[in-house]
């Protein structure tokens, strides 16, 4: 009986710990950043904030992609690495059927620069930084369906606008520390810098609970033997 009691106690501890961290998502670990939680404060149009901090928020959690998702930057093969360029085509994707979490970052100062280091709970699959040339190939517009549906329409851009993303290069770049942690090195004026980061999905608490029930049932069956 002591053996089975230990297993059940260990299982309970694992489940409690898993649920506790399941929606932490993204964490600012250094530099300038302000987390936004209310959909009404999540803004996507040009010159939306006018503050010298990187605003960031969660857009979607555990979203299954219906189609391939075009991205501007894929994770590097080694770390640390600086991304100082992004794809100028639509050939690089996160595959349809992948369960993802989506996060948004918006630096819109009066004029200036900012550095923010962010850690994600799951592996980064791709980053969107390139607005390209028009609505048909703009990486942001192609992925704006990831915007939280509770965000008011007034907070969304009416269409494509130039310089929504990064003017990526030696003065504005992304530093990859590992596959879950990046530093955004930004330099912006009008209309500001916008970045979308896509990661593997954090499991939903309901999914964790279902797994726990299955494991508990297995332990009960073993206890009866």
Decide if 88 contacts 139 (C-beta within 8 A).
Answer: no
Rounded mean pLDDT of 30-42?
98
Q: Write out the H or E segment, with its range, that includes residue 200.
A: strand 193-200
Which is higher by pLDDT, 14 or 222? 222
Estimate to the nearest angstrom the gap between the alpha carbon of 46 and the chain centroid: 21
| Sole residue written with tokens 């200036």 | 112
Would you kindly state where each structural domain of the chain is located, as residue ranges?
Answer: 1-22+204-225, 27-202
pLDDT of residue 202: 85
Cα–Cα distance between 197 and 83 in angstroms, integer?
14
pLDDT of residue 224: 54
pLDDT for 218 beyond 60: no
Instruction: Tell me the per-residue pLDDT of 2-35, one tens digit each, with 9 for 90 and over.
Output: 444 434 454 444 443 443 333 469 999 999 999 9
Strand partners, 99: 64
Decide if 120 contacts 29 (C-beta within 8 A).
Answer: no
Residues composing the chain: 225
Q: Write out the H or E segment, with its range, that includes residue 210.
A: helix 205-224
Rounded mean pLDDT of 198-223?
60
| Sole residue written with tokens 């310089």 | 163
Closest among 20, 16, 32, 4 to 116, alpha carbons compared? 32
Diameter of the chain by CA atoms?
70
């Amino acid at each position: 009986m002591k053996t089975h009691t230990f297993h059940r106690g260990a299982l309970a501890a694992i489940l409690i710990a898993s649920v506790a961290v399941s929606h932490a998502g993204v964490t600012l670990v250094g530099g300038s950043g302000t987390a936004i939680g209310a959909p009404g404060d999540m803004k996507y149009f040009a010159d939306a904030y006018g503050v010298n901090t990187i605003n960031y928020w969660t857009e979607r959690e555990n979203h299954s992609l219906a189609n391939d998702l075009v991205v501007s930057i894929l994770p590097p093969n080694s770390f640390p690495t600086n991304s100082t360029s992004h794809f100028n085509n639509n050939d690089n994707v996160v595959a349809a059927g992948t369960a993802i979490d989506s996060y948004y970052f918006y630096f819109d100062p009066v004029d200036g620069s900012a550095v923010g280091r962010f850690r994600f709970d799951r592996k980064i699959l791709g980053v969107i930084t390139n607005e390209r040339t028009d609505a048909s190939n703009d990486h942001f517009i192609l992925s704006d369906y990831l915007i939280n549906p509770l965000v008011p329409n007034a907070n969304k851009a009416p269409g494509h606008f130039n310089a929504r993303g990064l003017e990526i290069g030696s003065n504005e770049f992304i530093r990859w520390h590992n596959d879950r942690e990046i530093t955004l090195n930004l330099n912006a004026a009008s209309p500001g810098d916008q970045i979308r980061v896509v990661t593997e999905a954090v499991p939903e608490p309901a999914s964790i609970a279902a797994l726990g029930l299955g494991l508990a049932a297995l332990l009960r069956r073993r206890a009866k033997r």
